[in-house]
């Protein structure tokens, strides 16, 4: 995507109690592999459908029959708590049949290939496949083989689209046009808001997917961390600027945090220590950790976010992680509504696992 689609009209929001193919809505994607292919209208449709799902979650029985008779397979080759559980809860809330496969306890441990596993789960009835894999691009390979819809639940360093969409949903609830403070210049929900992503940007699939959604939402995005963990992003920022996206890259935590509306800390991955990209965790915490003192540079009501899992005391101080400005638990809760919305929209395009 080289230019940001401007909204032309409000997207039509589905009636989420009904099956997703009961009434056409403006969603055309069979798979969700990353956020780079989503127009602003697509993103807004996800946000508004998630609003509907949040209403469902507030009911005494938080369940709709929308995906009754559909089969969702959750195939995780990597550890996860938030993403795996929230997809399972989301699919069950939509009345889908859910199958969970953990790689270590399946024939994958005996050497079965990804493609063969995908063929096998499809033969066993899977119509939607939610996949996490340590190798960047693995969900794209799965999508070439699978007859239904594939949802990328995180692949290597590359993308984590559902995390980026729930992050945007959380920010929008506080800062966007639907918030009580509300108001945006041209309909984009974070127009002019300063959003900082702080930490191990280099290895972060969350950061990469967030770059697309946050700049599409009109945010003034800052990426901050040690120079070794920002490598290559300056060039991306320059290309983004040429396409009307606002984001910049800095190693100055003070410059980044000053007057920020949102600060999202990223996990420092201990395994990166061996590669010499960081001198020590202690030095990282001292120079770039999100402490209460540093957070004071941001706006007094700035949102503190983290995709999880956290290393408290490294990239984020424990008191900041649970402080009054923290929206980290809210992010986790919103993950269910956003993933319900995505499963619903995707099921409307490939309703019974067959073809384009």
Whose CA is closest to 262, among 205, 340, 179, 204? 179
Could you tell me the end-to-end alpha-carbon distance of the chain, in angstroms, rounded to an integer? 21
- Rounded to a whole number of angstroms, the minimum distance from the CB of residue 268 to ligand CP is 14
Which range in 9-17, 239-247, 268-276, 305-313 contacts ligand CP by CB under 6 A? 305-313
Under the binding rule (CB under 6 A), the answer on residue 308 touching ligand CP is yes
Under the binding rule (CB under 6 A), the answer on residue 161 touching ligand CP is no
Nearer to ligand CP, 223 or 266 (CB): 266
Q: Which of 65, 125, 244, 309 binds ligand CP (CB under 6 A)?
A: 309
Interaction pattern, residues 72-101, with ligand CP; x per rule: CB under 6 A: --------xxxx------------------
Residues 6+ apart with CB under 8 A from 324: none
Under the binding rule (CB under 6 A), the answer on residue 163 touching ligand CP is yes
- Rounded to a whole number of angstroms, the minimum distance from the CB of residue 223 to ligand CP is 18
- Rounded to a whole number of angstroms, the minimum distance from the CB of residue 72 to ligand CP is 16
Q: Which of 148, 226, 307, 348 binds ligand CP (CB under 6 A)?
A: 307
- Rounded to a whole number of angstroms, the minimum distance from the CB of residue 81 to ligand CP is 4
- Rounded to a whole number of angstroms, the minimum distance from the CB of residue 335 to ligand CP is 8
Question: Phi and psi for 72 in degrees, rounded to 5?
Answer: -110, 125
Nearer to ligand CP, 81 or 252 (CB): 81
Nearer to ligand CP, 237 or 316 (CB): 316
Nearer to ligand CP, 29 or 82 (CB): 82
Interaction pattern, residues 194-233, with ligand CP; x per rule: CB under 6 A: ----------------------------------------
Nearer to ligand CP, 71 or 331 (CB): 331
Nearer to ligand CP, 83 or 170 (CB): 83
Is 306 in contact with 266 (CB distance < 8 Å)? Answer: yes
Q: Which residues bind ligand CP (CB under 6 A)?
A: 80-83, 154, 163, 307-309
């Amino acid at each position: 995507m080289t230019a940001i689609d401007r909204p032309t009209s409000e997207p039509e929001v589905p009636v989420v109690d009904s099956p997703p193919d009961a009434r056409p809505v403006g969603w055309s994607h069979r798979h969700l592999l990353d956020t780079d292919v989503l127009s602003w209208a697509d993103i807004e449709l996800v946000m508004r459908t998630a609003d509907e799902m949040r209403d469902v979650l507030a009911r005494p029985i938080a369940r709709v029959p929308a995906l009754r008779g559909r089969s969702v397979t959750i195939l995780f080759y990597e550890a996860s708590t938030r993403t795996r559980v929230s997809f399972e809860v989301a699919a069950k809330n939509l009345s889908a049949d859910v199958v969970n496969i953990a790689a270590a306890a399946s024939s994958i441990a005996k050497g079965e290939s990804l493609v063969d596993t995908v063929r096998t789960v499809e033969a066993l009835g899977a119509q939607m496949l939610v996949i996490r894999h340590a190798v960047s691009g693995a969900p794209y390979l799965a999508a070439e083989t699978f007859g239904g819809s594939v949802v990328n639940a995180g692949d290597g360093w590359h993308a984590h689209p559902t995390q980026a969409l729930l992050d945007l949903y959380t920010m929008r609830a506080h800062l966007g046009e639907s918030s009580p403070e509300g108001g945006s210049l041209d309909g984009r929900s974070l127009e002019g808001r300063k959003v900082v992503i702080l930490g191990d940007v280099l290895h972060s699939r969350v950061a990469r997917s967030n770059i697309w959604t946050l700049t599409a939402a009109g945010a003034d995005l800052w990426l901050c961390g040690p120079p070794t963990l920002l490598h290559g992003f300056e060039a991306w920022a320059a290309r983004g600027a040429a396409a009307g996206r606002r984001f910049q890259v800095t190693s100055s935590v003070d410059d980044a945090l000053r007057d920020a509306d949102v600060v999202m800390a990223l996990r420092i991955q201990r395994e990166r220590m061996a590669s010499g990209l960081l001198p020590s965790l202690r030095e990282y915490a001292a120079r770039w950790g999100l402490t209460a003192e540093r957070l004071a540079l941001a706006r007094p009501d700035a949102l503190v976010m983290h995709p999880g899992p956290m290393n408290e005391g490294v990239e984020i101080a424990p008191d900041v992680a649970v402080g009054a400005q923290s929206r980290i638990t809210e992010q986790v809760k919103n993950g269910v509504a956003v993933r319900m919305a995505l499963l619903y929209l995707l099921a409307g395009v490939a309703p019974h696992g067959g073809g384009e």
